[in-house]
Structure 1
Amino acid sequence: MDDEPWPGVVEVQFTDAAGRCWSLFDKAPVFDAMGELGPDSTFPVEVAVTCVVAEGHGLPEDEEAVTVSTSPHGVATSDGREEFTVRRDQLIH
């Protein structure tokens, strides 16, 4: 989104278990522990968002979903939302 202030601010988008697209905004290092995001990066780039599992439940057709919170690093949507229900296969360990 912007290189000022340094480090730059990026927008991360993901789709939840219901198919809704969400945007999270924060400085690049919050989403990129390896330091690969920068002004010369070619976007879009896959990144990870640190989260904690809040609860799990079933979805139609026996797909598993889990509610997660992005609170460990204080990452939230522009309106302050930090809990999302995502597919279990979206999570990495």
Structure 2
Amino acid sequence: MAFLRCEAVRWVDDEPQPGLVEVRFADAHQQQWAFVDKWPIFTGDDLTPDSDYPVEVRLLCDILTADTTTDRLTISVAPWGLESLDGRVEFEVGVDQLTMG
């Protein structure tokens, strides 16, 4: 399993339960992407409205392609049915942005 390192930047709402958070990351081109979903989707510590944001979290992803000459990967965040606020599910990221586990 591969996980993308991200940051939960704020608590969005208590509803629907168990609560929504906004999570961001920068891709290999330094473009910022944001997601809003229930906090358990993003592995890491339990998040609450009172958490000390930003909080490092991880997002389950699939590796679609790898470019060994540039150390970049194309990933999909579709395993959880997640998409960015812009509707994207595939991103190019650096190898160092992923953890395995």
- Give the TM-score range, shorter chain: 0.7 to 0.9
Q: How does 1:48-87 map to 2 (within 5 A)?
A: 48-58=58-68, 63-87=70-94
Q: Which of 1, 6, 30 is the aligned partner of 1:19?
A: 30
SS at match of 1:51: strand
Runs of 4+ with deviation above 3 angstroms: none
Tell me how many residue pairs correspond in the alignment: 89
SS at match of 2:74: strand
**Aligned sequence identity (%):** 44
Q: Which of 45, 50, 53 is the aligned partner of 2:55?
A: 45
2:45, 2:57 within 8 Å by CA — same for their partners in 1?
no
Deviations 1:43-93 (A, max 9, x none): 0000001000000125xxx54100000000011112321000000010000
Which of the two has greater strand per residue?
2
RMSD, aligned CA: 1.5
1:13, 1:23 within 8 Å by CA — same for their partners in 2?
yes
Q: Which has the higher contact order (CA 8 A, sep 6+)?
A: 2
SS at match of 1:72: helix
SS at match of 2:48: coil
TM-score by length of 1: 0.87
Question: Which sections of structure 1, spanning at least 5 residues, go unmatched?
Answer: none
2:22, 2:36 within 8 Å by CA — same for their partners in 1?
yes
Deviations 1:14-65 (A, max 9, x none): 0000110000111001013x5511122110000001000000125xxx5410
With 11-20 and 76-85 compared, the bigger mean Cα shift is at 76-85
TM-score by length of 2: 0.81
